[in-house]
Amino acid sequence: MPRNHKEELIFGTIMCGLMVLGMSAYNLTIHNAFAIDRVLIGFIPGFIVAFILDNFIVGILAKKITFKLPLNLGKKWQVIITLSFFMVLGMVTLMSVYGLVAQGQLHGDILPKYLRAWGFNFIMALPLQLIIVGPISRYFLQKIQNNSDAKKA
């Protein structure tokens, strides 16, 4: 877990970047439109929106909810799983709206489109976060923390 604001910013940037990359590739694939250039073109605006939502809305709410629950804070895995769940729930809820806007799908009956996008996004985002992106992000954070600790010693 990040120990200070700098580490939190680095960790969040890695986490957000990898999730946007993974979810962009996934969404393009399920729409039969996958191409590396499309992933890269959509990455920057998607990352900016996700980073803002993560840092100013979803991250704050997810942490508040997680730390109000009766978790054993000594068991780091409980905090990681719970926080990840609430982060994915919030980000999927908001980024599914972004996806519809980016695709120009805000016409006709929007609710079924949104619910379909939300469902498809949630079933991919949760395992992506728990199995791939979270561990990779924590690995790089640990390397940064170890490097910082070695400099202090």
pLDDT tens profile 83-94 = 999 999 999 999
Enter the DSSP assignment of 55.
Answer: I
* Residue 122, in any domain of the structure: yes
* Residue 153, in any domain of the structure: no
Max CA distance (Å), the chain:
62
**pLDDT value at position 34?**
95
Write out the residue range of the structural domain in which residue 103 sits.
5-144
**pLDDT value at position 59?**
96
Using 50 as the pLDDT threshold, list the residues of the chain that sit under it: none
Cα 84 to Cα 78: distance, rounded to the nearest angstrom = 10
**Count of beta carbons in the 10 Å neighbourhood of residue 7:** 15
Contacts of 91 (CB under 8 A, 6+ apart): 19, 50, 53, 54, 58, 125
**pLDDT value at position 106?**
87
* Residue 90, in any domain of the structure: yes
Cα 46 to Cα 19: distance, rounded to the nearest angstrom = 10
**pLDDT value at position 151?**
82
**pLDDT value at position 150?**
84
Contact 38, 32 (CB under 8 A): no
* Residue 50, in any domain of the structure: yes
* Residue 91, in any domain of the structure: yes
* Residue 71, in any domain of the structure: yes
* Residue 59, in any domain of the structure: yes
* Residue 152, in any domain of the structure: no
| The two structure tokens encoding residue 58 | 């979803």
Cα 128 to Cα 130: distance, rounded to the nearest angstrom = 6
Query: How many distinct structural domains can be found in the chain?
Result: 1
